Amino acid sequence: MSFRLISSGGSNVDPTVVNMPCSGTIRPGEVVDLLRTGGQGVSISSGASTSTMVFGVSLDYKEGKSDAEAKVIPFTKSQLWAADCYNTPLTSHIGIRHIIRTTLGRGAYIENTATDAANVSFGVFLALGMDTTKGTGVLVGRFIQNDNTEAYPDGNVL
């Protein structure tokens, strides 16, 4: 899986899972966007996904048809996620907001660099640490969702 929930804020209960109608092909472990038009449900996230779009991580493989529903863990502020990376994780990637990439055949991952996302609304994953015990390593962090409750007065998003 590309993204794995590693903590729900110290809670030992299972995370909330919702069944969402889906558009397009969705795979397990991929971040999905909430489509806010016409009850379409969710679709796979991409480099164009912003903090107002990202919704959660899919647990299912589904090909979006009018009746297809995927189980999704919605993001909360208290969750920590392990994220597969495009580049080998470095300490210079910690504290940086990264964008999501999805490549056919490779799945979803974080486009990790030592530079904060140029447009902060596209920086949807805040790296807080890394785990180098998993092959080439993964970044550990949280997803940033801006539903206008996390914005600072200057418009920047945490």
Rounded CA gap, 36 and 20, in Å? 12
Q: pLDDT tens across 87-130, in order?
A: 889 999 999 999 998 776 667 889 888 888 877 788 899 999 98
Q: What count of residues does the chain have?
A: 158
- Return the closest-CA partner of residue 28 out of 108, 110, 137, 125: 108
Output the pLDDT for position 59: 93
Output the pLDDT for position 106: 64
Output the pLDDT for position 1: 52
Structure tokens at 80: 């920590």
Q: pLDDT tens across 39-83, in order?
A: 678 988 888 888 889 999 999 998 867 678 899 999 988 899 999
pLDDT of 19 higher than 80: yes
What is the rounded average pLDDT of the residues 135-157?
67
pTM: 0.82
Q: Band of the pLDDT at 149, cuts 50, 70, 90?
A: very low
- Return the closest-CA partner of residue 71 out of 148, 9, 10, 5: 5
Q: Are 3 and 20 in contact (CB under 8 A)?
A: no
Lowest-pLDDT range, 9-13, 39-43, 90-94, 137-141? 9-13
Locate tokens 């920086």: which residue? 123
